A and B are shown apart, each in its own frame.
Chain A
Amino acid sequence: MNRDVADPQGGWSCPRPLDRYPQVLLAHGGGGRLMQQLLEQVFLRAFDNPLLNQRHDGAQFEVGGQRLAFTTDAYVVRPLFFPGGDIGTLAVNGTVNDLAMCGAQPRWLSAAFILEEGLPMAALGRVVESMRAAAKAAGVEFVTGDTKVVERGRGDGLYVTTAGLGVIPHGQCIGPAQVQAGDAVLVSGDLGRHGMAVLSVREGLEFEGPIVSDCAPLAALVGALLEGGIEVHCLRDLTRGGLVAALNEIAACARVQVAIEEAAVPVSEPVRGACEMLGLDPLAVANEGRLVAFVAARDAERALELLRAGPHGAGAQRIGAVHAGSPSRVTLRSRIGIARVLDVPSGEQLPRIC
């Protein structure tokens, strides 16, 4: 519908406007179906190429006989500082993790800062110090960057964009296309903490216990799996849209069905309580230091041991398995034993009324 309708606002003619919304909505950035539509109908359509169409956390390619992974991410978070991290730790760990999900060793990062006039120097200093410390912890270096300042009111204090380059020291191909029926599905720890930590500070909500973001670098954890000889088929860090979005994207790409057990998915008590209260699904809440791993079933137990012994993996669990079947979908067996479809939320999850 609405093909070739010119945009009355700016004269820009979009080949296929996003159905009836003539403007970008916040929900287009929420990690749900509206965002997938935006990516598919605007960006992927315009930039179409085989590397981009891998649709993984980063592009993987070979230069002069060396396999490389390349990725970029923009960071906008309000407030800039939250329990367990700040925009600086996110900007390092997010990009490091995207590289790690390609099975790469992250090496070099770039940083582009958009600063708003009036941002306290002390806040900028804190963020940059966080970035330095996070980069050191992840074993990466900032090797290039850019800075722009915008007028007061034209930014949210501070935006950061980082790009990262990593080397892939092995021959394993890691991505949604490698996922196959029979694979075991593992997560590296309890879910939903980052999203709920940020929400609680932003909205001034007080829950039963303090919720601290899980923001952490995952490259060492991935390294442990690969060095341990685990047949890793796909990795995904569970950022925006959480486990639900990641599983649905991977299932669709790999054309398989993924079945998980609700009772096996680790969620901490404070996060569960907060989500119950607000009517949110913790499985669709963002994480910044958690991954899902699809591994060959015979390696599942050993992979769990390696994850649990590694940094930020103590709470790892096996949550489900991959099955052949069409159409691709994700199902969740509820606590009372009934399976249902686990679908991507439309946009951002919105707290319910009562």
Chain B
Amino acid sequence: MRFLDEYRDAAQAGAYARALRRVTARPWTIMEVCGGQTHAIVRFGIDELLPPQLTLVHGPGCPVCVTPVELIDKACEIAAQPGTMLCSFGDMLRVPGTRTDLQAVKAAGGDVRVVYSPLDAVKLAAAHPAAQVVFFAVGFETTAPPNAMAVWQARRQGLKNFSLLVSHVLVPPAMAAILGSPSNRVQGFLAAGHVCTVMGYREYEPLARRYRVPIVVTGFEPLDILQGLVMCVQQLETGRAEVENQYARSVRREGNLAAQRIVREVFRVVDRKWRGVGEIPESGLGLAEAYAEFDAERRFGLTAYTAAEPTECLSGLVLQGVKKPNECPAFATRCTPEHPLGATMVSSEGACAAYYRYRRPVEAECEREGL
């Protein structure tokens, strides 16, 4: 398949792996920011091709994983109310809230719909004027433009029964938080190619300068990731700390200006809580004042609600690259995809789910099967 097979070629992957071994002289720790990259690394086994000095840690870039538990609770609360229709992307349905999850709310009679685009939710609102239609808007800069477009269209159509439960997060503040943490061990980043397709990579340049870290904007296929790693290690070995673009077939320095315009029109930057990490200043998007009437939290009177996270879950440390999923005592025992303690075990992009699916230790499996 074009644009796919050429980036999954075994011979080329081997060549990049050899190049990586050649350029790596000292031990380095690199974080891939995006959950899509984590999934590809574990799915294709890229980490098994790395030289022993190179450690990859998995970043916070899984939108499902970082959505705070209280927003899941709010989504469940809204979905359980009669006369409402909660629209969500599929993988939010299994994320555990404090007491329940959306698929259980659905089984109990709540109207929860899986949609493939926020614009489908706008269509549902137009088709069901008597229902309150809420779209659960999660994601990074990548999903912000279509979600902004949904609100913009709802306003243009004069829809009074459409609103957004917003949990948008931004990548650069999260990277800054990781770099500024005393427990940080990340020395270089593979930045998220799709986020940069929308936003460009100018905003990463001050981060590279301030924290003296190389940042390589990287794609999602095995060869992209291997090439991104070669570029990052070359910078580390030669003492450079620059922003480089491996994913030039998709990313421009200035990004997609039209997409940025609609995001600025509809959203504003807000402080945002990250599941497992805590509040990071100016790290999220909320609806701009001009669009506040589309805010589901205000419409349903849920702005004041807060909730505590399960204490056993280490997902915060996993998301910051401090722990690997299989270093968690609950991994594959008390925490499984059927009964996740944290969201990193839910989404296919979550590091714990990726490890569970592709890397489950034999011992844990035996224990589970009672062998």
Contact = CB atoms under 8 A, between A and B. Distances in A.
Interface of A: 19-21, 23-27, 33-34, 37, 203, 205, 269, 272-273, 276, 278-279, 326-327, 329, 334-341, 343, 346-347, 350-354
B4 A272 contact: yes
Given A27-B94, A335-B9, A351-B91, 7 more contacts: A327-B369, A336-B14, A336-B46, A341-B357, A341-B360, A346-B94, A353-B63
Nearest to B223: A336
Interface stretch (B100-108, B177-185, B265-273): B100-108
Contacts of A346: 94, 337-338
A26 B13 contact: no
State the 7 A-B residue pairs at the shortest beta-carbon distance, nearest first. A338-B45, A350-B90, A346-B337, A336-B13, A23-B107, A340-B358, A335-B8
B107 A203 contact: no
A354 B90 contact: no
20 contacts: A19-B339, A21-B107, A23-B104, A23-B107, A269-B1, A335-B9, A335-B10, A336-B13, A338-B44, A338-B49, A343-B356, A343-B360, A346-B337, A350-B90, A350-B91, A352-B90, A352-B349, A353-B143, A354-B140, A354-B143
Given A23-B108, A272-B1, A352 B347 contact: yes
B357 A354 contact: no
Contacts of B142: 354
A20 B140 CA distance: 31
Contacts of A334: 43-45
A327 B4 CA distance: 34
Nearest to B2: A269
Nearest to B61: A354
A350 B42 contact: no
A25 B107 CA distance: 6
Q: Which of A205, A279, A326, A352 has the most CB of B within 10 A?
A: A352
Interface string B216-249: 0000001000000000000000000000000000
Interface of B: 1, 4, 8-10, 13-14, 36, 42-46, 48-49, 63-64, 89-94, 103-104, 106-108, 114, 116, 138-140, 142-143, 194, 222, 337-339, 347-349, 356-360, 362, 365-366, 369, 371
The dominant DSSP class at the B interface is helix
A348 to B, nearest CB: 8
Contacts of A343: 356-358, 360
Contact of B8 (A23, A24, A336): A336
A354 B196 CA distance: 13
Contacts of A336: 8-10, 13-14, 44-46, 49, 222
A353 B91 contact: yes
Contacts of A279: 348
A307 to B, nearest CB: 25
Q: Which of B42, B222, B348 has the most CB of A within 10 A?
A: B348
B107 A26 contact: yes
B313 to A, nearest CB: 16
Given A33-B338, A352-B89, A337 B10 contact: yes
